[in-house]
């Protein structure tokens, strides 16, 4: 078999066999197939696409390229949650404890921040002492004893994806549905869960800008899961506004805690309850409606909050963060208010620019080597639909000496659109793909 022939076949719109896909992926990982041929192969996929069967094979081949996590020794049905990335997306910090408190094991690997989206691992590490690197023994022990553990991805998890993604990034082949779906789902398959709830973000702060594109990606990912005998549901959610009000690591932990105490923002609370309910439903705990009721009870009776405290303690963090978050979390006291000069309704917020602005303050990374400042970020005081007047504070910037305040301020200025017409309300949950 020659790489040339496989590239030619896909370039001409042919359907690739299992042997051909495995030959290309495994050959590239081993170094037998050079970058220029793999780049041509990716570009052929970009223009000619893949069908459901090809996607499933590509995903499996990538998942088999490195370490795989075996969760079969953990009792119960394990359901993982994945978000395609958004601004202010701290759902794992609330959903994980809710679901674990209801008897569904959460054995999760999460990522770090890069670009304008935040990373769950960085948020958890803003809690003093919290360890996201656990031995395999510790990881399984925590899940067995308290029902939850969240760690960073292992170095050798899906090496094919790391290598192929770097090439996609350099060859303008990132935004193709088959390649996006295989990249996400290969890591999910390697993670060993029995099913997945996929939170597919849609809008200005998301990778998928339209509901049509997001639906296509959701269909592809659910299809891949089903092809491998896994349960799956995709929830399309609104990322035309930041999720909740806080953007930044310690700030988002603070908001997650408020939500676990029943005082969270309405949009964020609704999303967390819905994602929790779908996870419990896939785990066999009842209908979606029954599971939604269970999730609400877990928040109301304090079970989820107690589970979060346990979770923090088991992973080495300071459990006092639950009762005294302002004393425990690293938070700057230097707050700059951002005021509007206009009067009217906030009709839209460019969420991606909010995320980039928080990066300018130090809350995220521009490159993988950057160091994050846990103490900084942005609070969205006024959201879409709010009526504001000149001089009103519509956002707050939590800053440090290293923060690029003027750059962040300029992005905030560009983010808000204010007009005299009240915008239509857009729900947080746009669509469910099963």
Q: Is residue 381 part of a domain?
A: yes
pLDDT at 302 over 90: yes
For the segment 258-281, the average pLDDT, to the nearest whole number, is 97
Tell me what pLDDT residue 380 has.
Answer: 96
The answer to whether 353 is a known catalytic residue is: no
Q: Is residue 210 part of a domain?
A: yes
Q: Is residue 69 part of a domain?
A: no
**Residue 348 φ/ψ, nearest 5 degrees:** -160, 155
Check whether residue 309 and residue 334 sit in a common domain.
no
What confidence tens digit (pLDDT) does each residue in 59-71 have?
A: 999 999 998 888 8
The pTM of the whole model exceeds 0.85 = yes
Total number of domains constituting the chain: 3
The catalytic residue among 112, 187, 230, 353 is 187
What confidence tens digit (pLDDT) does each residue in 38-56 have?
A: 999 999 999 999 999 999 9
Looking up residue 42, the CATH number of its domain turns out to be 1.20.970.10
Looking up residue 283, the CATH number of its domain turns out to be 3.40.1030.10
Q: Is residue 432 part of a domain?
A: no
8 Å CB contact between 248 and 208: no
For the segment 378-398, the average pLDDT, to the nearest whole number, is 96
The catalytic residue among 89, 161, 240, 350 is 161
Domain span including residue 32:
3-48
Choosing from 291, 321, 351, the residue where a domain stops is 321
Tell me what pLDDT residue 157 has.
Answer: 86
DSSP conformation class of 131: -
Output 322 or 154, whichever has higher pLDDT.
322
Confidence class of residue 216 from pLDDT cuts 50, 70 and 90? very high
For the segment 20-49, the average pLDDT, to the nearest whole number, is 97
The catalytic residue among 112, 116, 168, 309 is 168
The answer to whether 183 is a known catalytic residue is: yes
Which candidate, 30, 89, 134, 99, places its Cα nearest to that of 248?
89
Q: Is residue 342 part of a domain?
A: yes
The catalytic residue among 81, 82, 231, 396 is 82
Q: Which tokens belong to 274? A: 């819905």
The answer to whether 226 is a known catalytic residue is: no
pLDDT at 142 over 90: yes
Which candidate, 144, 140, 150, 217, places its Cα nearest to that of 185?
217
DSSP for 227-280 reads HTT-EEEEEEEE-SS-SSSEESHHHHHHHHHHHHTT-S-HHHHHHHHHHHHHHH
What confidence tens digit (pLDDT) does each residue in 74-129 have?
A: 889 999 999 988 888 899 999 999 999 999 999 988 876 555 556 889 999 999 99
8 Å CB contact between 28 and 38: yes
The answer to whether 82 is a known catalytic residue is: yes
The answer to whether 101 is a known catalytic residue is: no
Tell me what pLDDT residue 260 has.
Answer: 98
Among left, alpha and beta (phi > 0; psi -120 to 50; other), residue 31 is left
How far apart are alpha carbons 305 and 291 in whole angstroms? 18
CB atoms within 10 A of CB 360: 23
Check whether residue 339 and residue 310 sit in a common domain.
no
How far apart are alpha carbons 32 and 3 in whole angstroms? 10
Check whether residue 288 and residue 219 sit in a common domain.
yes
Q: Is residue 403 part of a domain?
A: yes
Residue 185 belongs to what H/E stretch?
A: helix 177-191
Tell me what pLDDT residue 102 has.
Answer: 97
């Amino acid at each position: 078999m020659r790489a040339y022939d496989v590239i030619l076949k896909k370039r001409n719109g042919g359907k690739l066999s299992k042997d051909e896909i495995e030959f290309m992926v495994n050959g590239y990982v081993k170094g037998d197939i050079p970058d220029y041929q793999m780049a041509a192969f990716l570009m052929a996929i970009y223009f000619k696409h893949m069908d459901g069967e090809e996607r499933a094979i590509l995903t499996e081949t990538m998942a088999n390229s490195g370490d795989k996590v075996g969760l079969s020794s953990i009792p119960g049905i394990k359901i993982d949650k994945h978000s395609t990335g958004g601004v202010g997306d701290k759902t794992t910090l609330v959903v994980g404890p809710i679901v674990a408190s209801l008897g569904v094991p959460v054995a999760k690997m999460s990522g770090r921040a890069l670009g304008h989206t935040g990373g769950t691992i960085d948020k958890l590490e803003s809690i003093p002492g919290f360890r996201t690197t656990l031995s395999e023994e510790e990881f399984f022990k925590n899940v067995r004893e308290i029902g939850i553990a969240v760690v960073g991805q292992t170095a050798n998890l899906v090496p094919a994806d790391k290598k192929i993604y770097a090439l996609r990034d350099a060859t303008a082949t990132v935004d193709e549905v088959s390649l996006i779906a295989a990249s996400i789902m290969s890591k999910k398959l390697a993670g060993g869960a029995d099913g997945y709830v996929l939170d597919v973000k849609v809008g200005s702060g998301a990778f998928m800008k339209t509901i049509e594109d997001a639906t296509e990606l959701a269909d592809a990912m659910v299809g891949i899961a089903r092809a491998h005998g896994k349960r799956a549901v995709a929830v399309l959610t609104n990322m035309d506004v930041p999720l909740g009000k806080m953007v930044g690591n310690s700030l988002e932990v603070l908001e997650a805690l408020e939500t676990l105490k029943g005082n969270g923002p309405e949009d964020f609370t609704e999303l967390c309850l819905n994602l929790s309910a779908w996870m419990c439903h896939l785990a066999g705990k009842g209908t979606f409606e029954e599971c939604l009721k269970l999730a609400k009870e877990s928040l109301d009776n304090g079970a989820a909050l107690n589970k979060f405290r346990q979770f923090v303690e088991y992973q080495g963090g300071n459990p006092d963060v639950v009762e005294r978050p302002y004393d425990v979390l690293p938070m700057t006291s230097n707050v700059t208010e951002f005021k509007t000069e206009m009067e009217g309704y906030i009709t839209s917020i460019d969420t991606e620019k909010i995320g980039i602005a928080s990066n300018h303050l130090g809350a995220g990374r521009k490159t993988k080597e950057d160091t994050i400042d846990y103490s900084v970020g942005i609070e969205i005081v006024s959201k879409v639909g709010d009526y504001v007047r000149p001089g009103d504070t519509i956002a707050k910037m939590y800053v440090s000496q290293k923060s690029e305040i003027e750059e962040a301020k300029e992005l905030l200025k560009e983010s808000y659109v204010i007009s005299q017409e009240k915008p239509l309300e857009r729900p947080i949950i746009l669509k469910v793909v099963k």
